[in-house]
């Protein structure tokens, strides 16, 4: 039996993928290294008095590239958080932002904590103290470093961070722009919570608009009826699965969570599973579908589309050979290790890479940041004006209609939709859809045009590294 190769760390995995791509580029000496390396990682250890004693926590904020500022990237809460992980995630943020033209450098943060062990008040104390440590070093700052939610954090934590920054910077008129992913009533934007999952849906819709690409994945037709397996029914996985099932007719045949997996070839009800998890803490005991404790086994079930949406490294040297899906969309960051990527490529599996697939989050974060800096909700100035102009046309058509008799009628449904001016949510979804379509087209152009580029990941790296290199050149490097 062949000796299994050693699995690289997450950071090494990202670097290996980066290296594969830069080998195909003609970058000036030194620039390649400048782009690859992580500029700085700050480690903070702080104590918080809780439950009658001082608890010490360890957190990180890593800045990968400052070719554009502010730098941007989520804050993750989990016991697996470490320096290697935040540096890998910060690097991915650099490439992701460049790819979707979000004008940010890459950063990422993490706190080593199990959020399930602490109640809401305690989590607020811990989050505020972490935010204080970062903000006093400008590692949270509207023009220098803007965090967002990631695994284990959500809009609640972002609201605490924004408020902590505001308390420390009482005269900063742009204080709200120091973090994105906030609740709408605390300066957030409509559509941010769903954004990453929504982006996964838009990415798949765009992929299925190109029959040659669908054929490369050994599939045919559209999304309707495609069997989908989702790992992680958190923010990203839940929204992706929900939209694909409800709006595109996909069948969610398996859901894998931290405590096991559910399988039902007729399809699982995403809302019901989500509600069960919220009530019981996991999928165990869910009344329909076949439950297995070792949920990752379901990654290996036959399906059309596999969506790892939980964490990194879940498709690795240990299971890559047994993965049957011919299309994988990386909703999580780094779910496929560099070694597994090689095995899957050899098998002809098409992988829609993380830096593109989950870029919906940072794209809508960008919109939120712009909203905060401009101090006005998108659509506020133009909506009524747009509605009035549409009303004028409808009035005129109805006048002609009366003039021509019963020859034609404006359907009430058309009228309702046409008369409605775009509000913030419609504008955000439109901007996100446009970004996902445009970015996919850039990647697929490289994928199809270059003989030496065999996969979408390498194509995505080529596009994004090219943009980062152009920014550095513009800075005179």
Please list the active-site residues.
108
Select the residue interacting with ligand NAD from 311, 436, 462, 465 (CB under 6 A): 311
Q: Looking at 21-29, 145-153, 263-271, 452-460, which segment touches ligand NAD (CB under 6 A)?
A: 145-153
Q: Does 258 bind ligand NAD (CB under 6 A)?
A: yes
Q: 């949510």: which residue's tokens?
A: 425
Select the residue interacting with ligand NAD from 213, 257, 301, 368 (CB under 6 A): 257
Q: Does 297 bind ligand NAD (CB under 6 A)?
A: no
Q: Which residue is nearest to ligand NAD (CB)?
A: 234
Q: Does 260 bind ligand NAD (CB under 6 A)?
A: no
Q: Does 150 bind ligand NAD (CB under 6 A)?
A: yes
Residue 199: CB minimum distance to ligand NAD, A: 8
Q: Looking at 241-249, 317-325, 327-335, 394-402, which segment touches ligand NAD (CB under 6 A)?
A: 327-335
Q: Of 85 and 163, which CB lies nearer to ligand NAD in the complex structure?
A: 85
Compute the radius of gyration of the chain from its Cα atoms.
23
Residue 331: CB minimum distance to ligand NAD, A: 6
Q: Does 92 bind ligand NAD (CB under 6 A)?
A: no
Q: Does 191 bind ligand NAD (CB under 6 A)?
A: no
Residue 235: CB minimum distance to ligand NAD, A: 4
Q: Looking at 12-20, 306-314, 315-323, 445-453, which segment touches ligand NAD (CB under 6 A)?
A: 306-314
Select the residue interacting with ligand NAD from 105, 152, 188, 289 (CB under 6 A): 152
Q: Does 235 bind ligand NAD (CB under 6 A)?
A: yes
Residue 375: CB minimum distance to ligand NAD, A: 24
Q: Does 231 bind ligand NAD (CB under 6 A)?
A: yes
* Dihedral sign, Cα of residue 406, residue 407, residue 411, residue 416: negative
Q: Does 309 bind ligand NAD (CB under 6 A)?
A: yes
Residue 328: CB minimum distance to ligand NAD, A: 14
- Tell me which residues in 347-376 interact with ligand NAD (CB under 6 A): 358, 361
Q: Are strands 305-308 and 40-50 parallel, antiparallel or unpaired?
A: unpaired
Please state, in angstroms and rounded to a whole number, the distance separating the CA atoms of residues 374 and 414: 33
Select the residue interacting with ligand NAD from 113, 159, 310, 462 (CB under 6 A): 310
Q: Does 149 bind ligand NAD (CB under 6 A)?
A: yes
**Site size for ligand NAD, by CB under 6 A?**
24
Q: Of 22 and 252, which CB lies nearer to ligand NAD in the complex structure?
A: 252
Give residues in contact with ligand NAD (CB under 6 A): 149-152, 196, 231-237, 256-258, 295, 309-311, 331-333, 358, 361
């Amino acid at each position: 039996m062949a000796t299994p190769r050693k699995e690289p760390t997450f950071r090494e995995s990202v670097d290996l993928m980066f290296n594969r791509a830069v080998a195909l580029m003609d970058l000036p000496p030194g620039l390649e290294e400048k782009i690859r390396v992580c500029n700085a990682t700050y480690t903070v250890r702080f104590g918080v008095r809780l439950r009658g004693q001082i608890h010490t926590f360890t957190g990180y904020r890593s800045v990968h590239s400052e070719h554009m500022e502010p730098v941007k990237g989520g804050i993750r809460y989990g016991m697996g958080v470490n320096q290697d992980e935040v540096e890998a995630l910060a690097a991915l943020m650099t490439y992701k932002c460049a790819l979707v033209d979000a004008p940010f450098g890459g950063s990422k943060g993490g706190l080593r904590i199990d959020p399930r062990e602490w109640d809401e008040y305690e989590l607020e104390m811990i989050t505020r103290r972490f935010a204080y440590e970062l903000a006093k070093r400008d590692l949270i700052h509207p023009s220098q470093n803007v965090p967002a939610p990631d695994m284990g954090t959500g809009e609640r934590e972002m609201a605490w961070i924004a408020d902590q920054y505001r308390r420390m910077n009482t005269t900063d008129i742009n204080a709200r722009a120091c973090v994105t992913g906030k609740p709408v009533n605390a300066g957030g934007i409509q559509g941010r919570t769903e954004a990453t999952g929504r982006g996964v849906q838009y990415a798949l819709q765009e992929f299925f608009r190109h029959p040659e690409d669908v054929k490369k994945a050994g599939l045919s037709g559209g999304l309707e009826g495609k069997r989908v397996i989702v790992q992680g029914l958190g923010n990203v996985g839940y929204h992706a699965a929900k939209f694909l099932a409800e709006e595109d007719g996909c069948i969610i045949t398996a859901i894998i969570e931290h405590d096991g997996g559910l399988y039902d070839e007729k399809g699982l009800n995403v809302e019901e599973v989500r509600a069960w998890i919220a009530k019981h803490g996991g999928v165990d005991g869910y009344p329909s579908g076949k439950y297995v404790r070792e949920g990752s086994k379901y990654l290996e079930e036959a399906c059309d589309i596999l969506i790892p949406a939980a964490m990194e490294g879940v498709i690795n040297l240990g299971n890559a050979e047994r993965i049957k899906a011919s299309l994988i969309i990386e909703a999580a960051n780094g779910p496929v290790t560099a070694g597994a990527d090689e095995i899957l490529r050899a098998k002809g599996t098409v992988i829609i890479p993380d830096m593109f697939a989950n870029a919906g989050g940072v794209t809508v974060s960008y919109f939120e940041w712009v909203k905060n800096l401009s101090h006005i909700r998108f659509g506020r100035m133009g909506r009524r004006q747009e509605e009035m102009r549409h009303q004028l046309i409808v009035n005129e058509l109805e006048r002609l209609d009366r003039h021509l008799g019963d020859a034609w009628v404006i359907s009430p449904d058309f009228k309702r939709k046409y008369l409605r001016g775009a509000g913030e949510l419609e504008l955000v979804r439109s901007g996100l859809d446009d970004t996902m379509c445009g970015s996919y087209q850039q990647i697929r152009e490289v994928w199809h045009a270059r003989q030496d580029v065999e996969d979408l990941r390498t194509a995505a790296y080529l596009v994004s590294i090219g943009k980062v290199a152009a920014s550095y050149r513009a800075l005179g490097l």
